Amino acid sequence: MNPHDFTSGDYAPAPESSDHISLKKSYDLFIGGKWVKAASKFDTINPATGKVIAEVSSAGKKEVNQAVKAARKAYDGEWSSISGAERGKYLFRIARLLQERAREFAVIESMDGGKPIRESRDIDVPLAAAHFFYHAGWADKLEYAFPGKKPKPLGVVGQVIPWNFPLLMAAWKIAPALACGNTVVLKPAETTPLTALKLAELLEDAELPAGVVNIITGDGETGQALVEHSDIDKVAFTGSTAVGKSIRRTVAGTDKRYTLELGGKAANIIFEDAPINEAVEGIINGIFFNQGHVCCAGSRLFVQESIADKVIRKLKKRIGTLKVGDPLDKNTDIGAINSAEQLARIKALVNAGEKEGACIWQPEGRLPRKGNWFKPTLFTDCAQSHRIVQEEIFGPVLAIQTFRTPQEAIEKANNTPYGLSGGVWTDKGSKIFKMTTSLNAGVVWANTYNKFDPTSPFGGYKESGIGREGGLHGLSAYLNL
Ligand code: NAD
């Protein structure tokens, strides 16, 4: 065993088996309850090995139109005539089937996206099921959720999602839409289409009426064709701020409703009175969870000056124990970077950080030879103006700054174009209150990080987006009240 080899480490390999999964070699589009052929196909690749897993279809304008028509037909027909309680039954059934097939979904998610099996098994899939359970409960109680209102569905919803939490984002989108009586056309990201296609198979098994959910794969052009389609009533988008802005321009002047869940550059703030060891774990979880491919990642660390040396020393020691490698190994902490393009983006920003004068630190160790990998990385001596402090890297890279007073921390933390999330670590309740109310962010965690729950609304300010998903706020985004 080589102690400097991330791929061996101190543990014996504990690979999750992939014998139990069933994947087709080639997938069509799921439209109107049927599998429909498209004119062209593309490969989906395992980012940890570079090998092709399956071939998926690329939906053009014609197929997008077909999918929207199918969703409209279902909305005007059977789906509108059934009661909320019946809709709830379908959602409960989907949630239970997801739980039954959790292992298969977790393995496919890790193969297609590169995330550690520990995360897809313990976080992505259980949370996806939880979203269906939660919204199943609301389906027949919408008038109690919004007393004095007459909640009505919007109609056909076009949903476009990113590659960092493929199944979970599909659940965030589909569950509230169906609970409220809408029908859906969903487009997963081009690098991670497989769990959405498996979900389509599960919906068939749940006997969801044809056309209520349509799943069409493809790249940004497919997404754009969906967003532009004149017969959708709402666009629900999660992805980059750049695409979010373009979608906002597209829907301007129409009466389409929209919610945009976009990028982030969260500040994780550690005060000198914080429980340091717990805070170090929170910093690790904040930035290295899902390789840092997390919109709410704690990618900027602010440490009070008096404890900065101690925190950074402990952080480096802890990073030295992280295992980078095979996503299907149960010991793995950091899996593969989702795509070659994303790896190139991370490298370019890290190079910019070095060029602009920040000081880089990475643990020793060799990365696997094949696939897309990046070492957990720290930057110290960062300035507010550095690109690594201002721009979303979406990788395992942490920019560290110090502060002396709470006011300084607030000013620095709020000084980005984003406003999605943040973290505060302190022993003092009053300080938590002051910080959480002063940070311009949709979600602020106190003495913890990256905690998610379907009952809790999630979303951002400024360039992090518009609207909330989860909880009653998320539900209202799929209703005419
Ligand atoms: P992306 O914007 O490149 O792509 C997201 C989705 O949009 C993909 O399905 C893509 O095919 C599609 N798309 C691309 N161009 C389009 C267009 N012109 N019109 C319509 N659809 C189009 O983002 P990404 O790189 O896949 O995801 C990473 C980004 O997502 C990060 O910025 C991250 O912060 C953000 N994100 C935000 C949240 C949140 O809840 N706020 C959650 C997860 C990810």
Does residue 99 have its Cβ closer than 6 Å to ligand 1?
A: no
Compute, in angstroms, the gap from residue 436 CA to the centroid of ligand 1: 27
pLDDT exceeds 60 at position 2: no
Q: The domain that contains 176 carries what CATH number?
A: 3.40.605.10
Residue 456 resides in a domain = no
Q: What is the mean pLDDT of residues 94-103?
A: 98
User: Which token pair is 144?
Assistant: 């109690």
Residue 1 resides in a domain = no
Query: Does 247 share its domain with 188?
Result: yes
> Between vectors from CA 378 to CA 114 and to CA 458, what angle results, nearest 5°?
60
Task: Give per-residue pLDDT as tens, 132-166.
Answer: 999 999 999 999 999 999 999 999 999 999 999 99
Query: Does 150 share its domain with 248?
Result: yes
Does residue 192 have its Cβ closer than 6 Å to ligand 1?
A: no
Does residue 420 have its Cβ closer than 6 Å to ligand 1?
A: yes
Does residue 70 have its Cβ closer than 6 Å to ligand 1?
A: no
pLDDT of 7? 59
Q: Which residue has the tokens 């103006």?
A: 385
Q: Write out the catalytic residue numbers.
A: 261, 295
pLDDT band at residue 5 using 50, 70 and 90 as cut-offs: low
pLDDT exceeds 90 at position 8: no
Report in angstroms the alpha-carbon separations of 362 from 184, 376, 396.
Answer: 44, 6, 11
Task: In whole angstroms, give the CA distance from residue 64 to residue 160.
Answer: 12
Q: The domain that contains 285 carries what CATH number?
A: 3.40.309.10
Residue nearest to atom 9 of ligand 1 (CA): 189
pLDDT of 255? 95
Does residue 187 have its Cβ closer than 6 Å to ligand 1?
A: yes
For a mutational test of ligand 1's pocket, the pick from 159, 160, 246, 462, i.e. the residue with the most ligand atoms closer than 8 A to its C-beta, is 160
Query: Does 49 share its domain with 93?
Result: yes
**Pairing, β 418-419 against β 443-446:** unpaired
pLDDT exceeds 70 at position 9: no
Query: Does 239 share its domain with 317?
Result: no
Residue 455 resides in a domain = no
Residue ranges making up the domain that contains 237: 26-262+461-480
Query: Does 104 share its domain with 180?
Result: yes
Residue 123 resides in a domain = yes
Residue 14 resides in a domain = no
Q: How many CB atoms lie within 10 A of CB 452?
A: 16
**Ligand 1 atom at shortest distance from the alpha carbon of 243:** 2
pLDDT exceeds 90 at position 4: no
pLDDT exceeds 90 at position 249: yes
Residue 216 resides in a domain = yes
Compute, in angstroms, the gap from residue 406 CA to the centroid of ligand 1: 34
Query: Does 81 share its domain with 65?
Result: yes
For a mutational test of ligand 1's pocket, the pick from 161, 173, 262, 339, i.e. the residue with the most ligand atoms closer than 8 A to its C-beta, is 262
Query: Does 80 share its domain with 203?
Result: yes
Number of domains in the chain: 2
Query: Does 277 share its domain with 230?
Result: no
Task: Give per-residue pLDDT as tens, 285-326.
Answer: 999 999 999 999 999 999 999 999 999 999 999 999 999 999
Task: In whole angstroms, give the CA distance from residue 192 to residue 169.
Answer: 11
Residue 156 resides in a domain = yes
Q: What is the average pLDDT score of the chain? A: 97
pLDDT of 11? 79
pLDDT exceeds 80 at position 401: yes
> What are the φ and ψ backbone dihedral angles of 179, each rounded to 5 degrees?
-55, -35
Q: What is the mean pLDDT of residues 175-192?
A: 98
3-state SS string for the chain: CCCCECCCCCCCCCECCCCCCCCCCECCEEECCEEECCCEEEEEECCCCCCEEEEEEECCHHHHHHHHHHHHHHHHCHHHHCCHHHHHHHHHHHHHHHHHCHHHHHHHHHHHHCCCHHHHHHHHHHHHHHHHHHHHHHCCCHHHHCCCCCCEECCEEEEECCCCCHHHHHHHHHHHHHHCCCEEEEECCCCCCHHHHHHHHHHHHCCCCCCCEEECCCCHHHHHHHHHCCCCCEEEEECCHHHHHHHHHHHCCCCCEEEEECCCCCEEEECCCCCHHHHHHHHHHHHHHHHHCCCCCCCEEEEEHHHHHHHHHHHHHHHCCCCECCCCECCCCECCCCCHHHHHHHHHHHHHHHHCCCEEECCCCECCCCCCCCCCEEEECCCCCCHHHHCCCCCCEEEEEEECCHHHHHHHHHCCCEECEEEEECCCHHHHHHHHHHCCCCEEEECCCCCCCCCCCECCEECCEECCECHHHHHHCCEEC
pLDDT exceeds 90 at position 6: no
pLDDT exceeds 50 at position 337: yes
Residue 16 resides in a domain = no
Query: Does 303 share its domain with 246?
Result: no
Query: Does 257 share its domain with 273?
Result: no
Query: Does 229 share its domain with 309?
Result: no
Task: Give per-residue pLDDT as tens, 16-57.
Answer: 999 999 999 999 999 999 999 999 999 999 999 999 999 999
Query: Does 118 share its domain with 233?
Result: yes
